[in-house]
Amino acid sequence: MPTIVSVDDSTVPGEGSSRLLLLVSSDNKHIVVEEDIMSRSRFISKQVEGFEATSQRHAILLPFSSFVLNKVIEYCSHYRGYYLLEDDPDAAPPGRSPVREWDQEFLDVDRNMLLRIIKAAHYLEIKSLVGSCARAIADMIRGKTTEEMREILGVENDFTPEEEHSPSSKCTG
Amino acid sequence: MNNDVDDIMDGDLTELEISESESSTSEGVDGESDFEMDRISTSDSSSEDEDSDFEVETKPPAKRRKVDGPKLKTKTNLKSTGTPKAKAATQKQGRLQNMLTMPLDVLFELFSNLTPGDLVNLTRTSKNLRAVLMSRKSISVWRAARAQVPGLEVPEPPEDMSEPAWAQLLYGGAVCSECGAKNIHKIDFALRRRLCTKCMKQCLVYASSFRNKCPGLDPSVMEYLPYTNTGGWAHGHASSSRFYMKSDLLAMGKKLAELAQDKKAMKEFRKERILLVDAIMQDCAGYTKWATEAANLRSSTVADLKKKRYDDVVQRLLNAGYEKVDITNSQYTRLRAQPGVDSDKELTDQVWKHIRGKIEAVVINGRAERLKDQHERAVWSRRADAVKRYNKFCQLILPAQWAYMPNTDQAVGLTCFQEVYDKEADVTSADWTSAMQKLPQCLSEWMKKKHEEYIAMLPPANFPSMTMALNVLSGPSADVVRREKMASYAGALELALSVFTTDNHRALFGRDTCNTWKLPSPPTFSLRGASAVLSLFKTLAMNANLVTATALDHLNRRFVCLACAQKDHKSIDNLTAYSWRECVEHYMQTENSDHPSPQWRVLEPRQTADIILREKRLPSSMKKDSTRNWLCNHCGQYSADADANGWVFNSSNSLQTRNTVVHHLRTVHHIAAPVDDVDLLYHVEPGDRRPIAEPVLVNPRQTVPQPAQSTTQFRCAHCRAAANGGSASTRLFKLDGLKNHVQAKHKINRALEPGIDYY
């Protein structure tokens, strides 16, 4: 579980046009990032609002590794200052995530990493990144037969022989 | 996640056939929370520590749980034991097995990007996934998937169907709902099924046959069920016929029986069902129309996408440096047949990387075939040139030597020409000049090889050796060769003793034997024929090892067969007179029992002269002369009016009758008395022999019938010769009239000869 701990003010260089945040990954790496970059994360925004209420600055502990965190920061840095409809809580539900070329290259990572990024994005409440990851994962599943899906998802066929041979189970698209 | 059974959408269970036990397993799906959110636990991940999975980056994927009991032979199992290459690819890409540990809203976000068909397939992967997708929470996923189907907008599901059931019906695969037969594309929207013809015949009940098919069931059940107008038989039913699913009828009968006690409920139920059936039947036409239009649109779109994919493949090949001619023309069908080409999917770099090898192999193979084809065409063109040049060369050679030379097919295969065909670069006139300079040497080698092959078939003997040099017509020695040396041109093969025969049991000698060098299979040496010749020489008291067939021809003697006289008890006068060639064939064609050994008697010169005269008067003899089979041995032209450029070696079109050639010799070459086999030649096809005189009786009791009977009429050969190719006189004469005509007009006062004086 994430924890917010008090830190010494001197560890956070908070003066300047954009305040800095200290993010601590699960592997205990301290990453300083401008608040402005992470404003796309609703989770971070809520934390920052909490800092203002208590007039205390804190390090934010996150339950994923620095490697994943850096990827998320890279994403947020790329879209710094951009308006993305999916991330607007007041906008209508965007439906299917739009295709963004940069996202496709950004998410050209192995499947395990992709899952970690989407989990992190979900934790940080970055809807646009969740949507892009979901689309990338869906692309791996789309158009596959049942057997291929089982292979990709690593699930066993746990239907009984009767169910296995029932008409609906025979249909493998 | 809510585990209540109510959470499972109505209708899904029946349509996708989830049993109660399955839905109960969904209890194990929910409960645990990761970051205080719902998640699905899967059989694969149940033993894993969720946090560590999330946090530790380098942890290898957990081992898959071993399934107890015999493994089903599924595609998965086959794949898992597949080739190392396939395994490596899966490991490299990694699996998405941790995906199912995702929070539900993430999963739903993910599923929202799939098509209805993908979702149906997902429900078939495992019980857990099925339970997730069948929950009420996931209805938005199904709706989103339906909205994303490209092409025509997919209609909303009917009132009596859930989203998953509707997706299953529309996109659950083109298989029969009853037996699973494939390629059943038509959906019966009234019955909510796809049915193959066999199942239609088995499962549908024709309304009129209801009592027979469903005995004991109240026919009123049909009022509460939808029906189809399409039965399993192509003929015999009107288009308005009603067919009901038997299983639906039985279920409805059961339901009505259950409600029989409660009249109010029964009334309510009946009212609802009637309204529902009306609605279903009204909507059917709209759904069917939509399905047809959607299928057409999809088909058209798929065709466009396939074309685009093919064009992309072609463009990538062009970019890689391949020539268009190797890609688009002859290779179209082969390319389309390659895996990965005939697809409606977009061609990505990754896919191209995967399929490129095989496709390039096809193109490379196509290019090799094209180049080979081009080379073959060039070779054929060069061969045609070689034929023309060889024919021209032959015009320069003594025609009597043509029989010893290869035919055009054999000649164009000689090494001197082969070098020209094999040349990679364009052939120049210098190449042809070089080839023609080498041609005489190549021909000599060819003839020598054939000669040795035939000599080897003869019995061992001290035959004189020879060299078969080709003689040019215009050369100084041509006349000497023509008159004196051709008789022994092929050495031992020219001897009368060298008797060869083909399947037709005809005796071949000298030039006719050598003419068979043009055949694919050689004749055989005839020992029986040789013994007949030996016997003839004995009769004539001549040395068999020195006399050629031509020399024996010049003797022009006639013989009788003493074996025949002995067998038939005939006197000499009643026997048939044979030339020496006829004697050999006669003996070859008789049985050993009749003719155990050849025995001949040579006839007196006076008798022979009489016989020869009678032979000449025979129609067969006259026919030989009048056949267009003769050629001039002085100029290489078959007739005076033949076009030198249009002349073709061995073409029977250019042959002429004997009279024409004789006239040509007299007028063009000024030879007053042309001699057969010296000045003019009878053309013989390879494997055949020159015609020999028809046998006549030694001493016929009656006068030999004259060729000129009172009814027979002839034309004057001198008049035709005078016409010189123009329209000759068509005047017909009886023999006496002809004599008078020739004496008066052509001043010829000798006995008339057929073929020379008349025809």
pLDDT at position B482 over 50: yes
C-alpha dist (Å) from residue B507 to B502, B525, B587, B715: 8, 10, 10, 35
- Residues in chain A with CB shorter than 8 Å from the CB of B127 are 158-159
Is B148 in the A-facing interface, judged by CB distances under 8 Å?
yes
Once rounded to an integer, what is the mean pLDDT over residues B86-104?
Answer: 64
Q: What does the longest C-alpha to C-alpha distance in chain B come to?
A: 139
Range of the domain at B730: 706-759
More confident residue, B468 or B650: B468
More confident residue, B271 or B92: B271
Q: Considering CB atoms only, which of B126, B144, B172 is closest to A96?
A: B144
- pLDDT of B233 reads 79
**A62, A69 Cβ separation under 8 angstroms:** yes
- Cα gap B38→B392, rounded to integer Å: 97
Backbone phi and psi for residue B587, each to the nearest 5 degrees, phi listed first: -70, -35
Enter the DSSP assignment of B223: G
Domain count, chain A: 1
Q: How many CB pairs under 8 A join A and B?
A: 185
Enter the DSSP assignment of B361: H
Model confidence over B706-744: pLDDT tens digits? 444 445 677 787 787 676 545 556 778 887 888 888 888
Nearest CA in chain B to A119: B102
Q: Do B35 and A1 touch (CB under 8 A)?
A: yes
Query: How many CB atoms sit inside 10 A of residue B221's CB?
Result: 22
- Cα gap B287→B285, rounded to integer Å: 6
- pLDDT of B40 reads 38
- pLDDT of B587 reads 92
ipTM of the complex: 0.84
- Residues in chain B with CB shorter than 8 Å from the CB of A152 are 95-96
Q: Where do runs of H (alpha helix) occur along B260-348?
A: 263-319, 324, 332-337
Model confidence over B448-457: pLDDT tens digits? 999 999 998 9
Handedness of CA A53, A58, A64, A65 (dihedral sign): positive
Enter the DSSP assignment of A67: H
Residue A172 lies in a domain: no
Q: Considering CB atoms only, which of B22, B55, B122 is closest to A26?
A: B55
- pLDDT of B312 reads 92
Residue B759 lies in a domain: yes
The CATH number covering residue A141 comes to: 3.30.710.10
Is A74 in the B-facing interface, judged by CB distances under 8 Å?
no
pLDDT-wise least confident of A145-159, B15-29, B94-108: B15-29
pLDDT-wise least confident of A33-47, B503-517, B715-729: B715-729
- Residues in chain A with CB shorter than 8 Å from the CB of B17 are 163, 166-169
- Cα gap B362→B314, rounded to integer Å: 12
pLDDT at position B619 over 70: yes
Model confidence over B263-316: pLDDT tens digits? 899 999 999 999 999 999 999 999 999 999 998 998 898 899 999 999 999 899
- pLDDT of B337 reads 81
Start-to-end CA distance of chain B, whole Å, equals 118
pLDDT at position B517 over 90: yes
Q: Considering CB atoms only, which of A138, A142, A168 is closest to B172?
A: A168
Q: Which of residues 220-259 of B touch A (CB under 8 A)?
A: none
- pLDDT of B251 reads 92
Here the tokens at position B349 are: 């770099």
The minimum CA-CA distance between B318 and chain A, rounded to whole Å, is: 26
The percentage of residues in chain B with a pLDDT greater than 90, rounded to a whole number, is 28
Q: What does the longest C-alpha to C-alpha distance in chain A come to?
A: 68
C-alpha dist (Å) from residue A42 to A82, A123, A131, A133, B109: 15, 9, 15, 17, 18
- Cα gap B477→B404, rounded to integer Å: 18
- Most B CBs within 10 Å, among A124, A129, A168, A172, to test the B interface: A168
Here the tokens at position B689 are: 């022999």
Enter the DSSP assignment of B95: -
- pLDDT of A171 reads 34
More confident residue, B198 or A57: B198
- pLDDT of B187 reads 92
Nearest CA in chain B to A123: B35
Range of the domain at A26: 4-155
Is B643 in the A-facing interface, judged by CB distances under 8 Å?
no
Enter the DSSP assignment of B458: S
Residue B154 lies in a domain: no
- pLDDT of A82 reads 80
- Residues in chain B with CB shorter than 8 Å from the CB of A147 are 74-76, 79
- pLDDT of B92 reads 39
Q: Which of residues 166-225 of B touch A (CB under 8 A)?
A: 168, 171-173, 175-180
Nearest CA in chain A to B182: A171
Q: Considering CB atoms only, which of A97, A141, A157 is closest to B76?
A: A157
Residue B741 lies in a domain: yes
- pLDDT of A98 reads 67
Q: pTM value?
A: 0.52
- pLDDT of B754 reads 67
Highest averaged pLDDT of the listed ranges B86-90, B498-502, B620-624: B498-502
- pLDDT of B579 reads 92
Is A129 in the B-facing interface, judged by CB distances under 8 Å?
no
- pLDDT of B614 reads 86
Q: Considering CB atoms only, which of A116, A118, A169 is closest to B124?
A: A169
Here the tokens at position B666 are: 């007299």
pLDDT-wise least confident of B6-10, B258-262, B558-562: B6-10
Residue A74 lies in a domain: yes
pLDDT at position B152 over 80: yes
Residue A161 lies in a domain: no
Once rounded to an integer, what is the mean pLDDT over residues B406-428?
Answer: 89
Is A101 in the B-facing interface, judged by CB distances under 8 Å?
no
- pLDDT of B342 reads 86
- pLDDT of B459 reads 81
Adjacency order of strands within the sheet including A20-24? A4-6, A58-61, A20-24, A30-34
More confident residue, A27 or B375: A27
pLDDT at position B324 over 60: yes
- Cα gap B719→B731, rounded to integer Å: 10
Which residues 6+ apart lie within 8 Å of B618 measured at CB? B693, B694, B696, B707
Nearest CA in chain A to B169: A168
Nearest CA in chain A to B177: A167
Residue B750 lies in a domain: yes
Nearest CA in chain A to B97: A153
Which residues 6+ apart lie within 8 Å of B288 measured at CB? B187, B189
Residue A107 lies in a domain: yes
pLDDT at position B638 over 50: no
Model confidence over B236-250: pLDDT tens digits? 677 778 999 999 999
The minimum CA-CA distance between A117 and chain B, rounded to whole Å, is: 10
The minimum CA-CA distance between B349 and chain A, rounded to whole Å, is: 13
For chain B, the average pLDDT equals 79
- pLDDT of B146 reads 92
Q: Considering CB atoms only, which of A1, A134, A171 is closest to B110?
A: A134
- pLDDT of B424 reads 80
Q: Do B93 and A110 touch (CB under 8 A)?
A: yes
The percentage of residues in chain A with a pLDDT greater than 70, rounded to a whole number, is 75
pLDDT tier at A93, thresholds 50, 70, 90: low
Residue B386 lies in a domain: no
On the 0-12 / 13-18 / 19+ scale of CB atoms within 10 A, B479 is middle
Closest CA to B76 of A5, A153, A125: A153
Domain count, chain B: 1
- pLDDT of B41 reads 35
Handedness of CA A154, A160, A163, A165 (dihedral sign): positive
- Most A CBs within 10 Å, among B47, B73, B76, to test the A interface: B76
Residue A163 lies in a domain: no
CA–chain centroid gap for B4, Å, is 69
